[in-house]
Amino acid sequence: MALETVSTSRSFGGVQGVYRHASAATGTDMVFSVYVPEHAAGVKLPVVWYLSGLTCTHANVTEKGEFRRLCAELGLIFVAPDTSPRGEGVADDPEGAYDFGLGAGFYVDATQEPFAAHYRMWTYITQELPAIVAEQFPADMDRQSIMGHSMGGHGALTIGLTFPDRFKAVSAFAPIVAPSQVPWGRKALPAYLGNAESAWRKHDAVALIEDGARVSDLLVDQGKDDPFLAEQLKPELLEEACAAASIPLTLRFQPGYDHSYYFISTFMADHLRWHAERLAGKSDSWFRKASRVGKERNDP
């Protein structure tokens, strides 16, 4: 696959790159970033996928996520895709709203016009881009994990729940846990997938769990001062679904934090350690024990 290098920069001994390629899934050029830590020749490294939120590109987490120091320490490749197709002829919200269309692909394969031609982010993230990463980078595709923020947290949860054998760890920052039940999702899902709510369920983490999807455990951090908490995010719905399904959920409410990258970067190291332990085949760790103590402080 032809891959254009947009830029590379040395960082913590590794290489932060930005790349462009022609996507068969979306029918557009797509840009993504990859951080590869310093490593011995021939060694393959585990891969952490990060899915971004509404209005974002690969650049938001790449520039603000503060992940490279710990990825270098833990030996993790960090992949950050875009959030939607872009370019001439790509449909957008007719009113230019931020929560639908460009920058807001919701990680689905659209079936409705005019979005079906390009908005195939599910296929792009789960099939096409992994094949590129496997071919072009020193990636151990038997050791993958996934995380995301907001709309990207929704994507990480739904993809992780759909492919539990592929992703050894799943976590999220302020995810949209039940898009079928909140305004952001009830705007996007019918426009992309049609009005039959049955088609939305495989793109709704709470519905997936209700329908039998399982993962070994989940980590979610949520800012208590997040302006979207009550109306759009509703982490209590995920908590209820996980409790009913006996899925261990570490849900941490962080006092004073909002929805921004100040919040994400603060807790990024915790998430990367969570992922590294599970990618190494460990599950009960200092992190879980620490979280039990922290939960008493952080619960609302």
Known catalytic residues are 150, 226, 259
Residue keyed to tokens 């939960």: 295
Strands, E assignment, the chain: 4-11, 14-22, 29-36, 45-51, 77-80, 139-149, 167-173, 218-223, 249-254
End-to-end CA distance of the chain: 49
Q: Cα separations (Å) of 236 from 35, 121, 174, 222?
A: 34, 27, 12, 11
Contact 222, 253 (CB under 8 A): yes
Residue keyed to tokens 């950050």: 80
CA 225, 230, 232, 238 torsion-angle sign: positive
Tokens found for residue 267: 């807790």
Contact 259, 222 (CB under 8 A): no
Nearest to 269 by CA among 77, 70, 74: 70
Provide the pairing of β-strand 249-254 with 167-173.
Answer: unpaired
**What DSSP state is assigned to residue 284?**
S
Nearest to 39 by CA among 31, 47, 51, 27: 47
Report the length, in residues, of the chain: 300
Q: Tell me phi and psi for residue 201, to 5 degrees.
A: -65, -35
Contact 78, 34 (CB under 8 A): yes
Contact 154, 107 (CB under 8 A): yes
